[in-house]
Amino acid sequence: MAGTGGRRLDGKVAIITGAASGIGRAGALLFAREGARITVADIDAHGGEAIAGEIRDAGGDAIFVRTDVRVAAEARAMVDATVHAFERLDILYNNAGIVRLGGVEEISEDDWDLVMDVNLKSVFLCSKYAIPHMKRAGGGSIINAGSTVSFVGSPRSAPYCASKGGLLILTKQMAIDCAPFNIRVNAICPGVTDTPFAAQVLAASPDPAEARRRSEQARPIGRFAKPEEVARAALFLASDDSILAMGSALVIDGGYTAQ
């Protein structure tokens, strides 16, 4: 696949969850341009097949595996399919995520469990089955999708904040266990990014246009991130450029948490 840079992932195999749209889609396309063979994992079969096809059409190597990352058997099957197709696994980008709005008083138990399962339990499950293959490969990189709410609260976002806060400390714990095996585990923590995911949250506001204006103004940079900008930061963590980054949180938020 023709690239614009130094092909920093040549010879690597990467799984990206939630890769059918948004940040995951941008990451899959960028990692492929940088030489990685990609497993596109998502519950959206149409979108996932389209991204895998786009990578192949551009000369890259990709497969799509429909995966519900909340389910142990499906997480394991995703990893097994990757190793069967590409004979190794070097990078796991735990990008899949979901949001349900509500404070502790108003959120339902079902919505709480859904958010925690997709955002946090999935990281446990996918990593559980990926790590043994990375050990056999002599090392690897696990990138967990945190958020600015890994550090600061946000109104009416109780399960989302809890899941992303938990993900950050899980990242640090995993890094300690994995470092002796040359497996780097880090978190990427973007702010609001211009994706269908963000549009869904804004659409729940009484005035979505005003909600977007206020959210953009709350950032020193004055705008939302672009998926491609977050993908470039993830590429750093996936590549050997981040060889000593272990248990770190790379914040990509336009200065929001610096205030």
The pLDDT tens digits of the residues spanning 162-214 come to 999 999 999 999 999 999 999 999 999 999 999 887 888 888 888 989 989 99
Burial class (CB in 10 A: 0-12, 13-18, 19+), 232: middle
Residue 5 has pLDDT above 80, yes or no: no
- Amino acid 198: pLDDT: 84
- Amino acid 128: pLDDT: 98
Reported residue count of the chain is 259
C-alpha to C-alpha distance for 211 and 208, rounded to whole angstroms: 5
- Amino acid 199: pLDDT: 83
Residue 152 has pLDDT above 80, yes or no: yes
Three-state DSSP state, 248:
coil
Nearest one of 125, 44, 46, 121 to 79, comparing CA atoms = 125
Residue 2 has pLDDT above 80, yes or no: no
The answer to whether 7 and 239 are in contact (CB under 8 A) is no
pTM for the model: 0.94
**DSSP string across 174-238:** HHHHHGGGTEEEEEEEE-SBSSHHHHHHHHTSSSHHHHHHHHHHTSTTSSPBPHHHHHHHHHHHH
Using pLDDT thresholds of 50, 70 and 90, give the confidence band for residue 25.
very high
Q: Residue with structure tokens 């990008």?
A: 95
Q: Residue with structure tokens 């950050």?
A: 168
- Amino acid 6: pLDDT: 64
Give me the percent of the chain exceeding a pLDDT of 70: 98
Q: Residue with structure tokens 């502790």?
A: 104
- Amino acid 88: pLDDT: 98
Find the mean pLDDT for residues 132-138. 97
Least-confidence region, from 10-24, 53-67, 205-219: 205-219
Find the mean pLDDT for residues 244-259. 96
> Out of 93, 129, 160, 256, which one is annotated catalytic?
160
Q: Where are the alpha helices (DSSP H) in the chain?
A: 22-33, 45-57, 72-86, 109-116, 122-137, 158-178, 196-203, 208-217, 227-238
The token pair at 123 is 């990281």
- 67-125 tens-digit pLDDT: 999 999 999 999 999 999 999 999 999 999 999 999 999 999 999 999 999 999 999 99
- Amino acid 3: pLDDT: 42
Annotated catalytic residue 160: yes
Q: Please, what is the angle between helix 109-116 and helix 158-178, to 10°?
A: 30
Three-state DSSP state, 86:
helix
Task: Identify the CATH number of the domain defined by range 13-193+226-252.
Answer: 3.40.50.720
The answer to whether 191 and 151 are in contact (CB under 8 A) is no
Find the mean pLDDT for residues 219-225. 93
- The DSSP letter of residue 157 is B
- Which residue type occupies 174? M
Find the mean pLDDT for residues 2-10. 70
Residue 4 has pLDDT above 50, yes or no: no
